Amino acid sequence: MANSSCSPSGIIFAKLWESKRVVKFVAWYQILTFCGSLRSASSNRALLTTVERLAPEGISIRRYEGIAELPHFTPDLDHDTFLPAAVRDLRDQVAAADGLLFAVPEYMHGLPGSFKNALDWMVGCQRFPGKPVALAHVSARHAFLPGQLEEVLKTMAATLVPEAGFNLGLTTNNVDVDLICSNAGHKATIVAALEAFRKSLCPKPQQAEEQPASSTLLRGGYSGPRPK
């Protein structure tokens, strides 16, 4: 299980008397998302777009868009000398991310071939083992995919974060961002899952964000008179 020792909010407030400003320290986590469908109107793509819109403070969402450009996996190319540029970019992005979020449809009771090809190329990423991974599902009709994908990821030595996974339980593929966002329950499910993902990640050095000095802070930590 991923480390969960970070503070519940991940936010610390500090006073800087010299500058007469209050600095808010926020631990930001980079989540790289993958849509397992190449269809432009994919419901999983709509789900990830919604995730980007609803991401809470402390989480930066970036989507990997290069699945279609990856060559078919072959061990003959899986060497520094011959490694395709698209594969190198994939591995670099995976290595740099604090966690991965996959939204994948079920095709013919299995994984989409293009997405499985991307997973095959990820195996050679030296920083993939132990990488926190969460799974997001749109449809309630996926009977085979979740178990298959979890088995593949366990074989790849990923750290699955079940509390950060979710299923909206929809029964149609005709899904767009507005449909998801119009449902308060769906929005709450997504935000709660992202918060759980953030809390599960290893603590990172905190980045300072300068805030105007005021007599009261809206969230946690210092709440007192303006520095003089």
> Over the stretch 179-223, which tens digit does the pLDDT of each residue have?
999 999 999 999 999 999 999 996 766 665 555 544 343 333 333
CA distance 104 to 35: 6
**Domain range for 12:** 1-27+203-221
* 176 and 77 assigned to the same domain: yes
Say whether both 63 and 170 belong to one domain: yes
188 and 91 assigned to the same domain:
yes
The H or E element spanning position 14 is: strand 11-16
Distance (Å, whole) CA 216 – CA 156: 48
In this structure, what token pair is assigned to residue 176? 């767009």
Instruction: Please count the structural domains in the chain.
Output: 2
**pTM of the predicted model, to two decimals?**
0.80
Q: What is the mean pLDDT of residues 149-162?
A: 98
Kindly state whether residue 228 falls inside one of the protein's structural domains. no
Q: Are residues 75 and 173 in the same domain?
A: yes
In whole angstroms, give the CA distance from residue 214 to residue 226. 5
Asked whether residue 20 falls in the same domain as residue 47, the answer is no
139 and 113 within one domain = yes
pLDDT score, position 171? 87
In a domain, 161, yes or no: yes
